[in-house]
Structures are given as C-alpha cells and as structure tokens.
Copies of this chain bind each other. A is one copy, B any other.
Amino acid sequence: MTSRRRFLAGAGGAALTALPLHAPVAAADEPPGTPMDGHGAAHAGGGGANGATFRGGAGVDHAANGFDPRTLLREFDYGTVTAENGRTVRSWEIHALDREIEVAPGVRFPAWTFNGSIPGPTLRATAGDLMRVRFVNDSEHPHTMHFHGIHPADMDGVPMVGRGIISPGEEFTYTFDAEPFGVHLYHCHVGPLAEHIARGMYGTFIVDPPGGRPEADEMIMVQHGFNTTFDGLGNQLYAVNGIPFVYMNDPIQVRRGGLVRIYLVNILEYDPINSFHLHGNFFDYYPTGTRLEPSEFTDTVIQAQGQRGICEIRFPYTGKYMFHAHKTEFADLGWMGFFDVVDGETT
C-alpha cells in the first residue's frame, strides 16, 4: 500500500525511476495539437491542476507492442465459421505468449498474454453456436483458459478438473455452447491466480442474443491494472484495454446521436472494485448483458472483479467527454479517457 501511494504522491515520475522509465511527464517535443487543447494555458501534461500524472505525455510504441488499443477497441473476433449438422461452429486458435509490453512511456512490463495483447482477443458468437477454442501454451508457464459461461466441468479450465492445467508446449481445445447471451470473460485460472491475472491473462467473450442487438458503434473496454513492482500488494498503473491514458492521448471518436454500445468488463486484480463514470451524459446499463432491457439509467456503475455489463449511450452534443473510474487513484494512474463526439462520419 505504502509503495503504491508513494508512487501516486510522487506524481508518477519519481517512483517510476526504479523502472527503465524515460518520460512519464509530457515530453518537450510533443506535437502542439494535443487532444486536450483547451482554452489558454500551455499543455500541462502530468502534474498540477490539470491532472496528477503523465496522462498528457508521450505515448507508447504500439507497433513494437504488437497491438494497439485504438483499434483493439472495436475488434471482434468471430472465429472461423463452419457448419456441422446445420449448426454454426466457430473456431479460434489462442496462444499463450510471454511478451514484454511497454505499458507506459518507457515502462516495460513482462506480461503473460493470450495472443500477445492485453486484453486478449474479443471472441464473439451468437447464442447457440458451438465454440471451439484451440489453446496452445507457448508460454514458459502453465496456464488454462477459464470461460465465464455455461459449459461442462471438463471445459472449465481449472486445475484438477477435466484436462486441468495446460503445461508449456501442450495444448487443449475447449469446446462448448455459446450460452447464455451476454458479455462474459475468460482468464487463466492457474495458481498463483492473482499473478496469472495480474500479468495480463484475460479477455472478453461476447454471446449475441438470437437476432442480435440494435445496430450500434460497438466497443469493448476491459478494466485492469499493472502491478509493475510485482509486490503483490496493488497496482501502480490502471487502464482499459492495455495502455494507461491511451484514450486521453487519442480520444475515441463517436458520432453525435448515434448509438454507442460499450461492452464493459472488470478484471482488475488486487483492488476490491472498479467503476466507470461517463461525463456529461448517461447510459442504459445491462448487467452481464443477459437481458434485453436495461436495469438502470445512470452515469456511474460499480463492478467487482469478474463482473461486466453493457452500456448504451447516445451523445446529444458534440465535444470531448471524459470517462474514467470514479476512484480517483485509478483515474490518476491511467484509467481515464475521452470520447470525442463529432457530427457526420468518424475517422
């Protein structure tokens, strides 16, 4: 706790120097047209009244990371589709991969991943489809894929049930019906469990209701953190979709008046809860996405680890609207972004 808070109190920069950190605060050579170009005042970057952190700083090298949260946001992997006895079968191949990921400018995190990205790919099917996930463990550590969903015990991906742990170099194909419809998740279930999750082994899987949902600009947001000190006590960085502040530096463009649908998942390790707050607007909330009617109309929801839901939003006005955890510490350390609401087509 102390080390985490000291990190915060130090505005990010000081404490991070223990890591190979280059530029937690705004670099001098930053291009002038930053996404947060408000009235007056030079761009503040990290620290001070505009924000306690490096949120306005230089970005990470997405290409070197091998994934980019700006595209991952709207990527849904429907798998390879075949038919068996008149039934839709969707197949995926997922590899456990150990990868070093630049999670903040200059901060490289030795991650364990599904297919090299944090979060892993967003698998998507329709209720009643058969899902086949070939899992190949190319990591140096034992892993499994545990899916939240309805399936037989031997497809549950936990130690000592069914095939159990998949050792390095081994593989297993998880096969199960896509049910129930909703927004679910998958994660490794091997011990020490906290570390396997905290290292990055999680992703979303979505089961669409028969007939689908109304057309919308759809995106996923997986809430998580990075325990960069590996002390097992808490997180030094917070994010959605892998990189802290990525949607501060590059706001998510959405169209005024259009329906926006967020598949929101919380897999944050160590902290008891996470939350999602939208500025200037409200959303319909569908907990777990298992019903077609929303349970709540609000601007702030809470999620414990493993909880998830769908947020449906229409923006009546153009402009930039923050979204972030309404847990200040998480927001200050990376779990914060912007929607940029525009008229006409988005880029």
Q: Mark A residues whose CB is within 8 Å of B.
A: 1-2, 5, 8-9, 36-41, 43-44, 47-52, 142, 146, 148-156, 158-165, 180, 182, 190-194, 197, 232-233, 269-273, 275, 277, 279-282, 287-288, 290-291, 295-307, 316-322, 326-329, 331-332, 341
Contact = CB atoms under 8 A, between A and B. Distances in A.
A332 B193 contact: yes
B280 A319 contact: no
Contact of A51 (B150, B152, B191, B233): B191
A233 B341 CA distance: 36
Q: Which 8 A-B pairs have the closest CB atoms?
A: A153-B319, A38-B160, A306-B326, A302-B304, A50-B159, A288-B298, A194-B328, A300-B306
A161 to B, nearest CB: 5
Given A191-B48, A232-B9, A272 B327 contact: yes
A304 B288 contact: no
**In the complex this chain forms, how many copies of it are found?**
3
A108 to B, nearest CB: 24
Contacts of A271: 272
Nearest to A151: B280
Main secondary structure of the interface of A (DSSP, over half): loop
A322 B287 CA distance: 22
Nearest to A144: B49
Given A152-B319, A159-B50, A282-B180, A41 B164 contact: yes
A153 B282 CA distance: 13
A298 to B, nearest CB: 4
Contacts of A182: 297
B152 A8 contact: no
A321 B193 contact: no
